[in-house]
Chains A and B, each alone.
Chain A
């Protein structure tokens, strides 16, 4: 049991931060994760400001235990207030989040966005396909790598 609890708490600690303003996409992403048996806790924030608040323990998330950081951040680019690229830049500027794995998950197929993302230190760039099946596949591979195979630094 202890082992199981340990795993459970592990799972809780190894949570995912999903930054996504479109509730449809949030729902579909969560479904895709679930479909792929990725049972990690997912914290969803709706814009860039909230995302930073969560990571820095400010605003709505003031007082949050900052020793617990997400295992992975899934970041949309086109968001109100603060867009994904700015969020990424702030994440990389901050000592606490500098090495956090960030995967860009976006509808944009613009070269400029992709290149800029990598420049700012994105670990991966995934374009959300229209076809849900294809999206499932992408999420599966993503979870396998960043949550299972990848050893946190």
Chain B
């Protein structure tokens, strides 16, 4: 670079010098020209001298005495122009005029040239000595302009010469510096630990630094490929000469003839005369390359490590980012809510400090309306029935409108639906919606309407709704604010309700405590009374307050310490409930004392609840009952004995009555079989009657025994299939008289709980009766079934279309031996229904009968 600068400087200096020389030549020409013109001018002056008056230049004549004897008008005009008077005419005379005039006599004729300054103007004066007249004539002409031109020319010339000298000196210095620089430059190039060469397009090497020469030797006029590689043509791999094609620098790697690797930099370069060259620089990177390979190896491991670490960091970063994002979201939300906080804080303050949140709602909601730009709000509260809501507070509508919507049923309008569902409802763009529920607010010109349920712990207290007339939609933020306010109001209301309930519960508890007839005392661990109810205080003949802090054993038992039976002491020891029966004359009777441990919230025992029930009366009653019981036990013993007797009696009746009867029947038959031929008709008839009578009596005895057995037999309750029993009985009855036409209608799957054997006897009696009383009916129908009474009671029945009966006798039918038909009509003993009734009674059920003569009979029973 420095080299280039120097060259440029030298060029510039050379140009300047050439310019200066040209200017000089011009000046010389001008000078020559000026001289010619001056001579012409003088000639003309001389010619005009003979015409002094006409001469436009001053012409004067001066006598030898120095006196101006003549001057022309031009002289006078100049004096006027210069502002001088006529006396100043002598100013045209040269300063050495006296000398000139003194020497005048010695001279024959002569012309002298003088310059005369007159004011600012300069005149060239030609003085002609005229010795014959002892006078001199002066011809003057104005040379001011010429003088000035000459002056400036001279000055310019002098300056030029100074500059030429200066520049020449500079040039010398520069040339000297350039030489020094060039030498230093070459020295630097020679000292470099890289090679620097200049290559010509024809592959010659005009310059190579020492590094290059030492490595590869002198080129000695040979071309690069010749002297480096001993080749006849350029190397195929060489990149260097491509620089010449596009004049762009190149960087590549080259393996030199010494086998080392060089990093090559090629630059386009212009010689001093502008011819293209290539400046090439080569750095031996053989070691570097090896080191790099090694480094690359290290780097690979390092990168692996870094990569892994980076991934960890990235993961951590992601997590951090997520956290940051979250925080940002939270922060954003916080910021958003900041505006609402004041409002919420205010409403919370109002609600918390208010004795009646119901009344404060309006104040709060008006603030919310203002904040949200709403026009109406309604606050409905669920009434005691829990089925409808009352308009508790409102704004934005008239009293008349409010009266119209004072009550809302659940499910009615938006608020009613919200109360029913317990979920927020937002009605938007109401003018363009056809939702019937929004009818009321649409009529009020509301565009957007949001209703929130007042819910506390799953209990709907009412609703709170806001509406606006100038927007069709609410933002999420606005809805959120409404929701929050609604939550606050709900909590405040629920809190107030809970406080009220608590107070009521407390009063209720106290009233209950005092109205319990038992004597209740709450005792602490030191047997001191903490509290007593009214009954206890009255028994101690004091007020409840007077009893507090007294020792129970002292004021109740008049003792100096707890009595041995004290259940309170026992409860204090084991933390369990204890019961004791205590007789205390001081309190006038017997008491059943229960002490129940009273625990604090952490389960630590505070004392006990000591409840004394006056059982004096009960004791007395118990004594009575005990005595009655004893009596009853005696009675039962006696009854059992009587029962056993009765059993023995009926057993012996059975045995003893049947034995003679069998004799009568048996021997009557002997008579009939062996002696019938010896009796007449009447005798044989009598014998027949005896036999029939014995048979009837046998049956009667059997039935009676059955009846008593039914009463005495032990009951076993089990699931009994009545349908199955009925089928069996019907089958056996049908077989007994196969000639009869009977239609049996037996309902399937009728199950009851009861004693199977007894129920079999009962059902047998009923179906046997039905079978018997339909004997004269050619198309008999016997039905067994079950129906249900209106009250859900199951009723079973046996129905026939037989002889029936007159209902006026219905009551008698269940008594033993009651018969409505003669034996000849329908045989029987009159015990059957009595037996049925006993069986049903033993099951805790009931039985009744309905009938109509010649139509049939229905026997109903329920178990």
Is B695 an interface position by the 8 A CB rule? yes
Question: In the complex the two chains form, what is the Cα distance from A129 to B695 in whole Å?
Answer: 10
Is B709 an interface position by the 8 A CB rule? yes
* Minimum Cβ distance to chain B for residue A127 (Å): 9
Name the residue of chain A whose CB is nearest to the CB of B670. A31
Known contacts A24-B662, A28-B662; A133 and B655 CB within 8 A of each other: no
* Minimum Cβ distance to chain A for residue B577 (Å): 52
- Verify A133–B659 contact, CB threshold 8 A: no
Question: In the complex the two chains form, what is the Cα distance from A153 to B844 in whole Å?
Answer: 52
Mark each residue of chain B from 647 to 665: 1 if its CB lies under 8 Å from any CB of chain A, else 0.
0000100110011111101
Determine the chain B residues whose CB is within 8 A of the CB of A129 once the complex forms. 662, 698
Determine the chain A residues whose CB is within 8 A of the CB of B695 once the complex forms. 130-131
- Verify A107–B651 contact, CB threshold 8 A: no
Residues 75 to 129 of chain A near chain B (Cβ within 8 Å): 78, 106-111, 128-129
Is A25 an interface position by the 8 A CB rule? yes
Instruction: Select which of A22, A25, A132 is within 8 A of B669 by beta carbon.
Output: A132
Determine the chain A residues whose CB is within 8 A of the CB of B702 once the complex forms. 109
- Verify A24–B663 contact, CB threshold 8 A: yes
- Verify A28–B654 contact, CB threshold 8 A: no
Determine the chain A residues whose CB is within 8 A of the CB of B667 once the complex forms. 24, 28
Instruction: Select which of B655, B663, B709 is within 8 A of A108 by beta carbon.
Output: B655
Determine the chain A residues whose CB is within 8 A of the CB of B655 once the complex forms. 78, 106-108
Mark each residue of chain B from 696 to 718: 1 if its CB lies under 8 Å from any CB of chain A, else 0.
01100110010001000000000
Question: In the complex the two chains form, what is the Cα distance from A110 to B708 in whole Å?
Answer: 11
- Verify A110–B654 contact, CB threshold 8 A: yes
* Minimum Cβ distance to chain A for residue B120 (Å): 187
Is A135 an interface position by the 8 A CB rule? yes
Question: In the complex the two chains form, what is the Cα distance from A109 to B663 in whole Å?
Answer: 17
Determine the chain A residues whose CB is within 8 A of the CB of B705 once the complex forms. 109
- Verify B651–A133 contact, CB threshold 8 A: no
Known contacts A109-B702, A111-B709; A130 and B662 CB within 8 A of each other: yes
Is B563 an interface position by the 8 A CB rule? no
Determine the chain A residues whose CB is within 8 A of the CB of B660 once the complex forms. 24
Question: In the complex the two chains form, what is the Cα distance from A119 to B694 in whole Å?
Answer: 33
Question: In the complex the two chains form, what is the Cα distance from A129 to B659 in whole Å?
Answer: 10
Question: In the complex the two chains form, what is the Cα distance from A130 to B694 in whole Å?
Answer: 7
* Minimum Cβ distance to chain B for residue A78 (Å): 5
- Verify B654–A130 contact, CB threshold 8 A: no
Instruction: Select which of B651, B658, B670, B709 is within 8 A of A130 by beta carbon.
Output: B658
Is B256 an interface position by the 8 A CB rule? no
Is B386 an interface position by the 8 A CB rule? no
Residues 14 to 60 of chain A near chain B (Cβ within 8 Å): 22, 24-25, 28, 31
Name the residue of chain B whose CB is nearest to the CB of A112. B651
A residues contacting the other copy or chain, number (CB 8 A): 19
Name the residue of chain B whose CB is nearest to the CB of A111. B709
Known contacts A24-B667, A109-B705; A128 and B651 CB within 8 A of each other: no
Determine the chain B residues whose CB is within 8 A of the CB of A110 once the complex forms. 651, 654
Interface hub of B666, B670, B694 (most chain A Cβ within 10 A): B666
- Verify B658–A132 contact, CB threshold 8 A: no
Determine the chain A residues whose CB is within 8 A of the CB of B669 once the complex forms. 132-133
Mark each residue of chain B from 471 to 492: 1 if its CB lies under 8 Å from any CB of chain A, else 0.
0000000000000000000000
- Verify B663–A131 contact, CB threshold 8 A: no
- Verify A25–B654 contact, CB threshold 8 A: no
Name the residue of chain B whose CB is nearest to the CB of A108. B655
* Minimum Cβ distance to chain B for residue A116 (Å): 12
- Verify B698–A107 contact, CB threshold 8 A: no
Name the residue of chain A whose CB is nearest to the CB of B712. A111
* Minimum Cβ distance to chain B for residue A79 (Å): 11
Determine the chain A residues whose CB is within 8 A of the CB of B665 once the complex forms. 130-132
Name the residue of chain B whose CB is nearest to the CB of A133. B669
Determine the chain B residues whose CB is within 8 A of the CB of A128 once the complex forms. 658, 662
* Minimum Cβ distance to chain B for residue A131 (Å): 6
Interface hub of B654, B658, B698 (most chain A Cβ within 10 A): B658
Known contacts A130-B697, A130-B698, A131-B695; A107 and B670 CB within 8 A of each other: no
* Minimum Cβ distance to chain A for residue B694 (Å): 6
* Minimum Cβ distance to chain B for residue A8 (Å): 27
- Verify A25–B663 contact, CB threshold 8 A: yes
* Minimum Cβ distance to chain A for residue B705 (Å): 6
* Minimum Cβ distance to chain A for residue B244 (Å): 143
Question: In the complex the two chains form, what is the Cα distance from A135 to B663 in whole Å?
Answer: 12
Question: In the complex the two chains form, what is the Cα distance from A128 to B659 in whole Å?
Answer: 9
Mark each residue of chain B from 515 to 535: 1 if its CB lies under 8 Å from any CB of chain A, else 0.
000000000000000000000
Question: In the complex the two chains form, what is the Cα distance from A133 to B672 in whole Å?
Answer: 12
Question: In the complex the two chains form, what is the Cα distance from A110 to B651 in whole Å?
Answer: 7
Question: In the complex the two chains form, what is the Cα distance from A17 to B178 in whole Å?
Answer: 177
Mark each residue of chain B from 662 to 698: 1 if its CB lies under 8 Å from any CB of chain A, else 0.
1101110110000000000000000000000011011
Name the residue of chain A whose CB is nearest to the CB of B702. A109
Determine the chain A residues whose CB is within 8 A of the CB of B670 once the complex forms. 28, 31
- Verify A107–B662 contact, CB threshold 8 A: yes
- Verify B654–A107 contact, CB threshold 8 A: yes
Question: In the complex the two chains form, what is the Cα distance from A128 to B666 in whole Å?
Answer: 11
- Verify B666–A132 contact, CB threshold 8 A: yes
* Minimum Cβ distance to chain A for residue B652 (Å): 8
Mark each residue of chain B from 33 to 59: 1 if its CB lies under 8 Å from any CB of chain A, else 0.
000000000000000000000000000
Name the residue of chain B whose CB is nearest to the CB of A127. B658
* Minimum Cβ distance to chain B for residue A38 (Å): 17
- Verify A107–B709 contact, CB threshold 8 A: no
Determine the chain B residues whose CB is within 8 A of the CB of A108 once the complex forms. 651, 654-655
- Verify B651–A28 contact, CB threshold 8 A: no
Determine the chain A residues whose CB is within 8 A of the CB of B662 once the complex forms. 24-25, 28, 107, 128-130, 132, 135
Question: In the complex the two chains form, what is the Cα distance from A63 to B431 in whole Å?
Answer: 131
Instruction: Select which of A28, A31, A107, A133 is within 8 A of B658 by beta carbon.
Output: A107
Determine the chain B residues whose CB is within 8 A of the CB of A22 once the complex forms. 659, 663
- Verify A135–B698 contact, CB threshold 8 A: no
Question: In the complex the two chains form, what is the Cα distance from A128 to B697 in whole Å?
Answer: 15
Name the residue of chain B whose CB is nearest to the CB of A136. B669
Q: 7 shortest A-B CB distances, which residue pairs?
A: A130-B698, A24-B663, A28-B666, A132-B669, A107-B658, A132-B666, A107-B655
A-B contact pairs, 14 of them (CB 8 A): A24-B660, A24-B662, A24-B666, A25-B663, A28-B662, A31-B666, A106-B655, A107-B659, A130-B658, A130-B698, A131-B665, A132-B662, A133-B669, A135-B666
